[in-house]
Structure 1
């Protein structure tokens, strides 16, 4: 049986950062296991390629939720990356840290070392912010962060319209002032997607102390008593085992990390017993506390110069393709959205609890699953409560590790969330209908002017509400009975096992979750190195 000091399960946003921290010490022998293939593909590296990644049958886990009664029994689609880089290789590349008070909340839930002041050095260390470095921003780190290469006139007008409604302009929502309206930043470098894989792992993948195993599905974590000893995997039709002399690190994301712990005998006793899985350690919080943002979208017909829809259709799209190939600029080099507004649903909120995102283009889903740019000039916007109170769960469908978990996000189950979303929808409309944005609008296409009352908006939420796939929380960090890991990200009650990814978040952050997922990996890797466990004796077979 091959032995490594550390086995990292999952080469996603956090797992790549963890791996880099471990590999930078040449004394560590590291195995990085990824269920999907390599990420070296044209459409992965091209920002506009996110549209082709959304339903990709090889590079995407293609999760679906269970039917949800609150959403007319709809099943929600959850795209998650299944390749080196994980979801950072297929997402919209939006880089938002979150509000400082998000992390102070984590700290105050019994997690010392996780407040904003604790994390700020890690945020700065991990990034290269193209524009500058200062008290809040870093340069020289591996993760490239840039402004949109093309800023559309309608984006400027959206910002001005929001400001006319007393929403302050923030020049850098990842800097001193998070709340307000301003241009988003993206993990794009010189017109190319800059995933966690490209930032952290690719520069060191040739080092002799790193082994990367792709297209390998981890079946379970192995234990001797309460000590994690390694993993059992499925690779090319064969089962194999690898031993970990120091620690096993689970970085598989909020869905797969919880599922893997359950399959390995770590979780609620009733859930393990239901599937005949031998219990290693009872941890009632595994799979609980599932959180995701839930949004509603609106679309408007707009003037020709407000949208780049037509530039991505017909013969014009070939010109854009040629331009991108020659210069790595143009519309194919843009991230998912251009502008974000962080606002309060009511004045009593301590800080903004809504995110409104604006994009100067619109699209629809083709029956084949492709995202198709609409034929008319259009602009779109969406809104969601940033810190929802509703909670869901991840459970097992069976004891078969090759079968996907049961995903139940329990959307629209909390009245406060529903009220906040309805208020956010009205604020979003107010911004678009305010000058100078209003002069660009020719008519509302979705949901249309007939949707006005609270009852009608609520019905639209039920029938059209969707998710940006910001799943977190299923192995939460803390000290209460439902906490799965402690503040060092060690699984409570077990030895030599940590979970380091978005599943450890006690609560969602205010904004897109890729940046905080990566910082969890950076800090978690630092903890592994600082805590350096002695090598345990590993018997040879």
Structure 2
């Protein structure tokens, strides 16, 4: 049996950071176990390749949610990366830290050392950014953050319309103060996706003390009493084991981390009995506290400006491929959302509660949960509530690690969430009617002008809304009875030799896309783990 000081399960947004940082001194031996393969698929490197990777079954786990009781019983496709880089290799590469209040809330909930001021040094350490203030932005980190290389005229019109409605231009939405409208910043370098593999893992691959094992599915965490001693995994039809001299670190994300804990006998006792797994360590919070952002779209046919729809087919696409090859600009540098904003849906809120998304493109009618662009010129506006109160769960459905877990986000379960979303959808229609954006609108085609009443709007939200791919919270940091991870050490509460560092640790949802927060969690964990 091979032995390592640290065994990291999952080579995604967090695992790549930990692999680099924990092996950097040369003093520790580190193994990284990844169920997927190499990140050498051509569309991973091209930013617009999101449309080709997010639903590629060779690159992700192919999950879907359980039927949603408040979204017409629908199941929603729920991709999670199964490749080096994890979801960071197939995501929309937007860089969004969230609001300073998000992290201050964590500290108020008992997570000492996790306030905005505590995490800011880790955000800065991680990034290489031109623009913004030196007080809040990093200049020499491994994660390259670029502005958009080819802004679109429709994105400018979208931002101008927001300004006309009183939403200011944000000088830097990653400063901790989000309110305003802006172009999104991207994890790109020279027009290419800059993934966690590029930023962290590849620079460390030559180290003699780091071993990366791919196509390896972890079957269980090996326990001796209250101590994790290693892992058992399956690779190429063979069962193998690794032993950890110090720690097993779970970085599988908000879906795979709780599933692995559960099939290893760690979790809510009732959940474990349901799948025939002996309870080795009862922790009621494992798999609970699940949150995700639920997004709803409005789209319109456009005139007077070419959208990305027309450029994605035939001869125009050939031209865009050549343009990308020679200039690293154009369609192929596009993220799923180009512009956006953060606004308050009602008076009295201290900070924005809603995120805006805009793309100078639209999707095929009725093809929700796909990335197939429409065949006519169009644009899409979307919204998601930043801090939903609706919570769900992730439960293993079998002791078999290949069995897909039950993912129940419980979208729109709480009236507060429905009220906020209703106000936000009406704001989208107001934007379409506001100059200069209105000058490009032929007609709204989703949901269309027949939708007028509150009930009709909510019917649209229930029938068409979808995930934003931001699951968090299923092994949360904290000190309350439902906490799973000790905020001072990243240890699974009540066990030795087992730690968690990934999006599952978030006690509450951050205000926006979750990659940046996950990266900061891993950066901080890489300091806490050797020290504790």
TM-score range, shorter chain: over 0.9
Cα deviation code 1:226-266 (max 9, x no counterpart): 00100000100010010000100000000100000001111
Q: Secondary structure at the match of 1:69?
A: coil
Cα deviation code 1:369-412 (max 9, x no counterpart): 86322121111011011000001001121111111111111111
Q: Give the drift of 1:420.
A: 0.3
Q: Give the drift of 1:363.
A: 2.3
Distance change in 2, residues 1:358/1:370 (3 Å): closer
Correspondence for 1:493: 494
Correspondence for 1:278: 278
Whole-angstrom CA distance in 1 between matches of 2:437 and 2:367: 32
Whole-angstrom CA distance in 1 between matches of 2:115 and 2:19: 23
Cα deviation code 1:408-447 (max 9, x no counterpart): 1111111000010010111122122111111111110111
Whole-angstrom CA distance in 2 between matches of 1:176 and 1:236: 46
Pairwise mapping of residues 58-69 of structure 1 onto structure 2 (< 5 A)?
Answer: 58-69=58-69
Pairwise mapping of residues 266-305 of structure 1 onto structure 2 (< 5 A)?
Answer: 266-305=266-305
CA contact (8 A) 2:77 2:369 kept: no
TM-score normalised by the chain length of structure 2:
0.98
Whole-angstrom CA distance in 2 between matches of 1:116 and 1:527: 17
CA contact (8 A) 2:302 2:379 kept: yes
**Greater mean deviation of Cα atoms: 207-216 or 157-166:** 157-166
Q: Give the drift of 1:216.
A: 0.4
Correspondence for 1:534: none
The answer to whether the aligner puts 1:507 opposite 2:508 as a matched pair is: yes
Q: Give the drift of 1:176.
A: 5.6
- Count, aligned residues: 531
Whole-angstrom CA distance in 2 between matches of 1:366 and 1:130: 40
Distance change in 2, residues 1:365/1:476 (3 Å): farther
Cα deviation code 1:116-154 (max 9, x no counterpart): 001111101100113355111111100010111111111
Q: Give the drift of 1:177.
A: 3.1
Correspondence for 1:198: 198
CA contact (8 A) 2:132 2:171 kept: no
Correspondence for 1:34: 34
CA contact (8 A) 1:8 1:30 kept: yes
Correspondence for 2:168: 168
Q: Give the drift of 1:365.
A: 7.9
Pairwise mapping of residues 348-359 of structure 1 onto structure 2 (< 5 A)?
Answer: 348-359=348-359
Q: Secondary structure at the match of 1:452?
A: coil
Q: Give the drift of 1:330.
A: 1.4
Whole-angstrom CA distance in 2 between matches of 1:356 and 1:161: 13
Whole-angstrom CA distance in 2 between matches of 1:132 and 1:68: 41
The answer to whether the aligner puts 1:82 opposite 2:88 as a matched pair is: no
Correspondence for 1:451: 451
Correspondence for 1:426: 426
Cα deviation code 1:90-126 (max 9, x no counterpart): 0010000000000000111100110000111110110
Output the aligned Cα RMSD: 1.4
Correspondence for 1:537: none
CA contact (8 A) 1:365 1:372 kept: no
Q: Give the drift of 1:33.
A: 0.6
Correspondence for 2:325: 325
**Gaps (5+ residues) in structure 2?**
none
Correspondence for 2:531: 530
Whole-angstrom CA distance in 1 between matches of 2:328 and 2:406: 41
Whole-angstrom CA distance in 2 between matches of 1:175 and 1:248: 34
**Greater mean deviation of Cα atoms: 183-192 or 267-276:** 267-276
